[in-house]
Every structure is written in structure tokens, then in C-alpha cells.
């Protein structure tokens, strides 16, 4: 495999994908990242010294920067993780989501189209990583399939839906060899602590409240990030141009169940009796930190992914059961306090610790 350009490669899923690509291919990997609040070069430290790695700071919505990158690297693949992702932020500032998620995706697609026109290649692939949130919300039963109609309910989801449609259009109109994946909620190492699981871990360790939206009954399908990245790489290597794959862990949990499982995992790894922050607050268990807060606008009730297509066509399946992946995640955050402190310093806004994913 030739050079791979990974946009948003310093973010949570992108950085985990870079490590997967290093472990499972011999490709040169070029990370292109704007380094906003959620992008951290510290997440790439273990591969930074490799001659197969390069980092370029830039914005996917910057036309000249993107086109210069492709001219310089002449990649055989572009994998786009770059996105604004947090629903709460999209409610406060929808314009930045449209700029990055829609305009940025367009600039990448157009640059890839021009790159292929100048350097034709049957091997080239453009893979866009999206979310299950584009499908809207589910009732008590059923799951999202690749043919589920789009019905986004937040500015974030709408901006990702717009990008998905552009990817499809570029394949249909220009025959760009594009692929699309839609994933369920990811968790695991290197996730920025505004999202539910890392937020709850760090809050609990510090003896802070564990804020849960509404009644805690919102359901998500949880996918360990390493399993997701293996599915993305498999799609890049074996997926047919124009194909779309849903990637889900098959681990439906309410937010309240996730928080309860986290409290149990923390108790096993760092017993509450040994946590000075809890003792100072006069608490004897992590569960005592749970706090219900008003629900956010447009909060989808339930997501679930039907991943039968990628299982049948590409042979992918997740390797981590939810409880096992959660234990690994808790252990990682407890063992990597320097990384947590690095992302919490400077750009990390402490006042947002009261929000969940």
C-alpha cells in the first residue's frame, strides 16, 4: 500500500487508526490535522519517531493547503476523520460544524478528484468516516442499516449527513473511488474528555459529579475504538468503490447502565476506599457521584447498528465485548495521567465538565 493521508489523525479515532495502520501495513502515513482543542500530537507519540510517519498541520477547509498536501504526497488513499463531533458544541456554534464537516469534506473530495485526474490510479481510494447519528433516532426495536433514510436531528448530525451525500455524489458523478463508513459510539484510549466515558472516568477519579442527561435512558451501541479502526482499514483494503458499511459493536446500553458499569470498573481498579478525593467529600462509593441534569435539545433516544453487511462481505467482527473494552479503557486513563493533564491544560475548558456525550 502506498502513502495514506489521514485527516484528523491527531484526534481520538484518527490517532487510533494511525496506530492500526502502522501495525497492520507497511504504508507511509501522513497525518493532516488542524490541532483544534480535541486534536493532540501527544496521541501520536508512539509512532512519531518512525520514518514512515509525517505530520502536517492544516485545515481540511483550506483549499490550497489540501491540494498542496496531495500534490506533495501523491497518496494512494485519503481517510477522512477530520470533523467537529460534539453535539452540545454544534448546538452552541453550528457554523463551525458546517465549515469543517461540509465545506471541509467538499474540499477534500475536490482535491482528490483533481489529484486522480493528474495521476490516474486504479489503487486510489477515498474513505470518509461518518456516524450513525445521520440516521436520526430509533424506537424500542430495530437497527440502522445502510439503506436507512437519513433523518439528522442535531446540527452535528446534519453536517455529517451533508458530507455523506457529497461523498456519494462524487462517486456517482465523477466516479471517484469513494467509500463510506457509519459507526456507532466509540470508546477507548485517547478520547477527549468531553465525551461520556472519559468524562465520567476523570470526574469520578477527581470526586466530581457524574452528570447524566434526563432519565439516563438514552441508548447507544458502543464500539471499542480498536475494533472500529480494524473495520475501517478492512474497508479501505477490500471494500468496493461506492460501497457503504455500517460498523457497530452490538453493545446497546443506556447511559445510566454505562455509568454504573464504569463505577464498577473503577471500583475494581481504584477502590473508592483508596480514593482521597472521595474520602474528602465524605463518599464511600463512585455511584454516590451520579447526578441527573436537564436533558439537552434534540437528544436522540436510541441508536443501534446493523453491521451484518461488513460482517458478511468483508469478514469483520468486533474483538472486544463491552465490559472487557470498558475495563481496558478505565485502566488506560488511570495509567496515562500525563496525557490527560496535557489535553486538560490550556485549550481544555474545565467548565464543560458538566456536559455528557
Active site residues: 132-133, 156
12 in Cβ contact with 38 (< 8 Å): yes
CA distances to 94, 150, 177, 216, 279 from 326, in Å: 31, 30, 36, 18, 25
Paired residues of 181 in beta bridges = 129, 245
| Sign of the torsion angle spanned by Cα atoms 227, 233, 234, 236 | positive
Indicate the length of the chain as a whole number.
357
User: If you count DSSP H runs as helices and E runs as strands, how many of each does the chain have, helices first?
Assistant: 13, 12
Instruction: Say which residue the cell 462517486 belongs to.
Output: 171
| Sign of the torsion angle spanned by Cα atoms 91, 92, 95, 97 | negative
How far is it, in rounded angstroms, from Cα 122 to Cα 281? 62
205 in Cβ contact with 280 (< 8 Å): no
- Cα 160 to its chain centre, rounded Å, is 12
DSSP 17-63: HHHHHHHH----EEEEE---TT--GGGGTTTTT-TTEEEEE--TT-H
Amino acid at each position: 500500500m502506498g502513502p495514506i493521508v489521514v485527516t484528523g489523525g491527531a484526534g481520538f479515532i484518527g490517532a487510533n487508526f494511525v496506530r492500526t495502520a502502522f501495525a497492520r501495513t507497511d504504508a507511509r502515513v501522513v497525518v493532516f490535522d488542524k490541532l483544534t482543542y480535541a486534536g493532540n500530537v501527544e496521541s501520536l507519540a508512539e509512532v512519531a519517531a518512525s520514518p514512515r510517519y509525517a505530520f502536517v498541520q492544516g485545515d481540511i477547509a483550506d483549499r490550497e493547503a489540501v491540494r498542496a498536501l496531495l500534490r506533495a504526497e501523491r497518496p494512494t488513499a485519503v481517510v477522512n476523520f477530520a470533523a467537529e463531533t460534539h453535539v452540545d458544541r454544534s448546538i452552541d456554534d453550528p457554523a463551525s460544524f458546517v465549515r469543517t464537516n461540509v465545506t471541509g469534506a467538499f474540499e477534500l473530495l475536490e482535491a482528490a478528484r483533481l489529484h486522480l485526474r493528474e495521476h490516474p490510479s486504479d489503487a486510489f481510494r477515498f474513505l470518509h468516516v461518518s456516524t450513525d447519528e445521520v440516521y436520526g433516532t430509533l424506537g424500542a426495536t430495530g437497527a440502522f442499516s445502510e439503506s436507512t433514510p437519513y433523518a439528522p436531528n442535531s446540527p452535528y448530525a446534519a453536517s455529517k449527513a451533508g458530507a455523506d451525500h457529497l461523498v456519494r455524489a462524487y462517486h456517482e458523478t465523477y466516479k471517484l473511488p469513494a467509500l463510506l463508513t457509519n459507526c456507532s459510539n466509540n470508546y477507548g484510549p485517547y478520547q477527549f474528555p468531553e465525551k461520556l466515558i472519559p468524562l465520567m472516568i476523570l470526574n469520578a477519579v477527581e470526586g466530581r459529579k457524574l452528570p447524566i442527561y434526563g432519565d439516563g435512558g438514552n441508548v447507544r451501541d458502543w464500539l471499542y475504538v480498536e475494533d472500529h479502526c480494524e473495520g475501517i482499514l478492512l474497508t479501505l483494503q477490500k471494500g468496493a468503490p461506492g460501497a457503504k458499511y455500517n460498523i457497530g459493536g452490538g453493545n446497546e446500553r443506556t447511559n445510566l447502565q454505562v455509568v454504573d458499569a464504569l463505577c464498577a470498573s473503577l471500583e475494581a481498579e481504584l477502590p473508592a476506599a483508596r480514593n482521597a478525593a472521595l474520602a474528602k467529600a465524605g463518599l464511600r462509593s463512585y455511584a454516590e457521584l451520579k447526578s441527573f441534569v436537564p436533558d439537552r435539545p434534540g437528544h436522540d433516544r436510541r441508536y443501534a447498528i446493523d453491521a451484518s453487511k461488513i460482517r458478511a462481505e468483508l469478514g469483520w467482527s468486533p474483538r472486544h465485548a463491552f465490559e472487557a473494552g470498558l475495563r481496558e479503557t478505565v485502566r488506560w486513563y488511570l495509567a496515562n495521567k500525563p496525557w490527560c493533564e496535557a489535553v486538560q491544560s490550556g485549550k481544555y475548558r474545565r467548565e464543560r465538565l458538566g456536559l455528557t456525550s
